[in-house]
Structure 1
């Protein structure tokens, strides 16, 4: 895949893969690619165009012509569509409710996988725009099995359903009481159920290492993933000059 390392991280909703992947990318001085954000951006694009999300061919055509720019800095992984910053827009309730219709469209998946592979290959090679060829941490559906099956380190980040619902409730509602968890349940479980029809992310494929974060806090999870990366690659990367969260 090039001279840099490629770390592929997959897992169910609420497993912490986005925040953990960003932290891992920062610690290793690598680019960060949030592939789930690409599907959300595609959803924003289709909604803005007034596409009927049940018309799979029309949606696929729209996505093929979508002018998408993914920010690769783990400190600020912005998303632009047609020159407009949609980083906040892709996280709205409207998009969350609609994204499965786009993400389960096989033609859309083929197009976005193509773009994802292009980013992974570019950032792990000498012509990298962000990492300088050091490599990339890519996270999301299909990464460990389809997009980057020959990545240097492939990890399935998982957690119990209880832990995943609690974390997503805190993220979305700022609370993890019974009411907040119940309000989050449909979003988390339905998305996993829908995506499981077109992608494998609940059980580790051959060669993919499982990291269960059910009983780990955030820092412990990051260290566990870093340990797997070091073990599988035999290399440690110099950290990026920026500081995540500044």
Structure 2
């Protein structure tokens, strides 16, 4: 289906498999890929390295504005740089994960990064974009909007698998972190986590990754054949 032209947005909470699904869909469509979560995590690295207090929104916004953040748009190769340093591994660590929600909640940070996200999307004829407010804020006129969700316990198990964690106590801790971030992101005043009014909700609780990818590809084909 390499004739696809347009934008596919994949929103949803952490642990739903958005990144792997979005990468596979982008590859199958011959499209660019943008992980906006990686961009917010890179911004969080900049804030942490600047030593800014997470209760200081002005300091957070200043640190992000002054940082040189680069996120690649290839589904095959992950590129995440902050001031020229490769932080692709670091952004998935505990320190960044715990700090990314308060950094992402700062309106000035969201405005700055949304502008950069739209610029990257504008440069691509076909693109798959994943995040938490893509269909609602970043690309409200996207060709296809998907909201990917799954039962909390399943999400925790999947995230634990990604991290190589098997200890039940640590899995429970991961589940608690997911619930905490969901609550924070869903209740923030600026761009809260929620499905767009015209998004198609895909529940991956009982589906493996391949099945979710095929579902999204089917929906993309329908969106192209029968545009709204």
> Mapping of 1:69-108 within 5 angstroms?
69-108=70-109
Structure 1 equivalent of residue 131 of structure 2: 140
Alpha-carbon distance in structure 2 between the residues aligned to 1:207 and 1:232 = 12
Displacement of 1:110 after TM fit? 1.2
How much is the aligned-residue C-alpha RMSD, in angstroms? 1.6
Structure 2 equivalent of residue 181 of structure 1: 171
SS, match of residue 175 in structure 2: helix
- The 8 Å contact of residues 145 and 196 in structure 2, kept in 1 or not, is answered as no
Alpha-carbon distance in structure 1 between the residues aligned to 2:224 and 2:202 = 16
SS, match of residue 12 in structure 1: coil
- The 8 Å contact of residues 41 and 79 in structure 1, kept in 2 or not, is answered as yes
Structure 2 equivalent of residue 62 of structure 1: 63
TM-score (norm. length: structure 1)? 0.85
Is 1:49 the counterpart of 2:39 in the alignment?
no
Structure 1 equivalent of residue 150 of structure 2: 159
Displacement of 1:67 after TM fit? 0.7
Alpha-carbon distance in structure 1 between the residues aligned to 2:59 and 2:171 = 36
Give per-residue Cα distances to partners, 1:64-105, cap 9 Å, x unaligned: 222111111111121011111110111111111111120111
Displacement of 1:181 after TM fit? 2.5
Structure 2 equivalent of residue 201 of structure 1: 193
Alpha-carbon distance in structure 1 between the residues aligned to 2:12 and 2:20 = 12
Is 1:220 the counterpart of 2:221 in the alignment?
no
Alpha-carbon distance in structure 2 between the residues aligned to 1:70 and 1:151 = 21
SS, match of residue 123 in structure 1: coil
- The 8 Å contact of residues 152 and 175 in structure 2, kept in 1 or not, is answered as no
Q: Give aligned pairs, total.
A: 221
Give per-residue Cα distances to partners, 1:137-169, cap 9 Å, x unaligned: 010011010000101111101111222122112
* Gap regions ≥5 residues in structure 2: none
TM-score (norm. length: structure 2)? 0.91
Alpha-carbon distance in structure 2 between the residues aligned to 1:109 and 1:19 = 24
Alpha-carbon distance in structure 2 between the residues aligned to 1:163 and 1:9 = 18
* Gap regions ≥5 residues in structure 1: 125-134, 236-246
- The 8 Å contact of residues 10 and 139 in structure 1, kept in 2 or not, is answered as yes
Displacement of 1:172 after TM fit? 2.2
SS, match of residue 187 in structure 2: coil
